[in-house]
Amino acid sequence: MPSFVHIADVHLDARLRFLGERGGQHRANIRAAFTRCVDLALERRVDALLIAGDLFDSQRPGRGTVDFTRQQLARLSQAGIAVRIVPGTHDALTPSGVYSWADLESAGDVRVYRGDGPGGWDVEHLASGLTIYARPTVEKGGGLPALQGLPRDPAARPGCEVALVHAALDLGSNDEEDYIIDPREVESSGLAYIAAGHWHTPRDFSRGQTVARYPGSPEPVSLDPRRAGQALVVTLTAGGRPQVEPVEVGRIRVDMYDFDVTGHEDEQPLETEIARMADPDLMLRVRLRGSRGPGWTRTAEDLAAQFAPRRFHV
């Protein structure tokens, strides 16, 4: 049965202004995590790498980043592994966007889906038996159902149908510009697997016999607390639910620490607590609340500068 690696929201060449001078180092971390995703696909000898949107952070990544991406995808093509990409919100399919000039297809068996079929869907049958239904982001979703008009192909091999989409799970408070996945449509889709992107934190939103997952970003691109970056190794099974193995590919983790300053005369208790969190691979978000005592003399910026050297970012 077919197998593939599912990743999303890599955000190559992200600006990362919140990291200041550490931004360049973390862009290198993101590249390294993407390389580990490619390594994983090669090690597991899967049939395909599926990228569910936002491979790039913007429509104008640097030429060096595009060259790097093309080189990584060529490694897969040379090993007989197909690469399939659906544009997301940051790298949407627009006339002058990144996919109009990056020429990723020149790396070999690489396809960027362009929504040429009915309802903006592409349907492709791979040699492995995998059928992919892909709907690229061509503009802001405006709250439209992401699975609307899903074109089930009667020629598809049972248990081998996969949707590749970049959309937000409908929790009742979504951005009005997002494409939306209604959880009820997941079960009724009849698909084996939905390879989704857009959420930066891993999430399982499977319903019934349909397995549906967000892998999250391989490396964090914000200070939202989250689990380590993942790639998902998916193996389809005859007559059963797909098997999904999360594999950590990220190096950096994000954590939040809340500290109530009320009742503390000075910064010493906070310094003691933060000292216990020394980790060069940690982005730490510290939130102070309450009323400071008279002995507090340093600003939040001063404290962040003090704590930063033994962590990736504070």
State what percent of residues in the chain have pLDDT above 90.
Answer: 62
* Residue 76 sits in the same domain as residue 181: yes
> According to the model, what pLDDT value does residue 26 have?
92
The alpha carbon of residue 119 and the mean position of all alpha carbons in its chain are separated, in whole angstroms, by 25
* Residue 67 sits in the same domain as residue 181: yes
Q: In 3D, which of 185, 236, 184, 190 has the Cα closest to residue 209?
A: 190
* Residue 272 sits in the same domain as residue 198: no
* Residue 289 sits in the same domain as residue 211: no
Number of structural domains in the chain: 2
Q: Helix, strand or coil for residue 248? A: strand
* Residue 288 sits in the same domain as residue 175: no
Q: Helix, strand or coil for residue 313? A: strand
* Residue 259 sits in the same domain as residue 299: yes
Domain extent, residue 134, equals: 3-248
The overall average pLDDT reported for the chain is 90
8-state DSSP, 100: G
Checking if the pLDDT of 141 tops 60, the result is no
* Residue 220 sits in the same domain as residue 270: no
Checking if the pLDDT of 223 tops 60, the result is yes
Token pair, residue 142, equals 């405006």
Q: Tell me the C-alpha distance between 260 and 240, whole Å.
A: 50
* Residue 216 sits in the same domain as residue 78: yes
* Residue 163 sits in the same domain as residue 285: no
> According to the model, what pLDDT value does residue 171 have?
75
Q: Which residue type sits at 92?
A: A
Q: Helix, strand or coil for residue 72? A: helix
Instruction: Note the pLDDT tens digit of each residue in 257-277.
Output: 888 888 888 888 888 888 888
Instruction: Examine the fold and report which residue of 224, 248, 272 is the final residue of a domain before the chain moves on.
Output: 248
The alpha carbon of residue 28 and the mean position of all alpha carbons in its chain are separated, in whole angstroms, by 16
* pLDDT band for position 175 (cuts 50, 70, 90): low
Q: Which residue type sits at 173?
A: S
* Residue 158 sits in the same domain as residue 261: no
* Residue 191 sits in the same domain as residue 269: no
Instruction: Note the pLDDT tens digit of each residue in 27-66.
Output: 999 999 999 999 999 999 999 999 999 999 999 999 999 9
Instruction: Examine the fold and report which residue of 248, 281, 301 is the final residue of a domain before the chain moves on.
Output: 248
Instruction: Examine the fold and report which residue of 199, 232, 248 is the final residue of a domain before the chain moves on.
Output: 248
Answer for the pair 90, 78: CB distance below 8 angstroms, yes or no.
no
Checking if the pLDDT of 143 tops 80, the result is no
* Residue 91 sits in the same domain as residue 162: yes
